[in-house]
Amino acid sequence: MTAPEADLTGWIAEPFTGGGFTHDVYRKGQGPGVVLIPEIPGLHPGVLGLGNHLVDNGFTVAIPSLFGRPGKAITPGYALTTIARACVTREFAAFATDKQRPVTQFLRALARDLNEKTPGKGVGVIGQCFTGGFALAAAVDDAVLAPVLSQPSVPIPLTLSRRRDPGLSEVELGVVADRAANDGLCALGLRFSEDKMAPGDRFQTLKARLGDAFEVIEIDSSPGNPHGLSRMAHSVLTDQVREVDGHPAYEARKRVVQFLTERLN
């Protein structure tokens, strides 16, 4: 059994400008809004499969194409080329600590736009891998009620300070923490236990600041784990999902849908 995948059928792309940047945004569905930020190398078939799953569960989904070629399947060369380009792009500031990343201004504008055009109390934002932490940074904006951080990998965790960095600036984290304490904001974080690209130190930093408002799902990928997951397992919501009850990535995806439903309806 393989992970769910899909193509671009039914998705409508239009350029969107916000925060000084313009990217094509692919939209589909009806219901409360969810901004689904692709992982490296871009809007690949696994991300589209996740997008279709969210649409099938009653959400309007907007996927910004920040890098890569929409619909193109993952290959090792494609992934390496894309991450190399993304790492040197000012918009993402992949190595900087305590950083307000320029791309988050675009994502907040997109979240506000989606909120205005969809029913519900606000919108969700899902970030994955390279974009995982962008979801929490987007929650500086009041339109975002349900940020989901799946295997957040920026800043690239090459040093202890980068492993501990929450992926957004202290100013932004302060705003999010205040919303969590006073406005009921909640966030959901997902990672595999042995994933070095999405270090546990990062979640510990966020848990210390957000407390019970930060729900963590950590899936056992240690040697000998009961589901035979590789210690290299990384993408919780896309390539590791097997649609079998009890599979931990499948159950995590169920929890994401439940979380979004609870927060936005």
Residue 230 in 3-state DSSP? Answer: coil
Instruction: Give the single-character DSSP code of 74.
Output: P
Query: And the tokens for 209?
Result: 């600041």
Whole-number Å distance between alpha carbons of 251 and 256: 9
Alpha helices in 119-198 (DSSP H): 132-138, 160-164, 170-182
Query: And the tokens for 22?
Result: 């313009």
How does the average pLDDT of the chain come out, rounded? Answer: 97
Whole-number Å distance between alpha carbons of 231 and 191: 12
Q: Is the pLDDT of residue 1 over 90?
A: no
Q: State the pLDDT at residue 216.
A: 98
Q: State the pLDDT at residue 207.
A: 98
pLDDT digits (tens, 9 = 90+) for 91-114: 999 999 999 999 999 999 999 999
CB 157 within 8 A of CB 68: no
CB 167 within 8 A of CB 145: no
Q: Which residues partner with 144 through β-bridges?
A: 123
Q: Is the pLDDT of residue 5 over 90?
A: yes
Percentage of the chain lying above the pLDDT 70 cut:
100
> Beta strands of the chain (E only): which ranges?
12-18, 21-28, 33-36, 60-64, 123-128, 144-150, 187-192, 214-219
Whole-number Å distance between alpha carbons of 253 and 265: 18
State the pLDDT confidence band at 167, using cuts at 50, 70 and 90.
very high
Q: Is 167 left (phi over 0), alpha (psi -120 to 50) or beta?
A: left
Residue 72: CB atoms within 10 A of its CB come to: 14
Closest to 23 measured CA to CA, from 155, 131, 95? 131
Q: State the pLDDT at residue 217.
A: 98
Class of the CATH domain delimited by 12-264:
alpha beta
pTM: 0.97
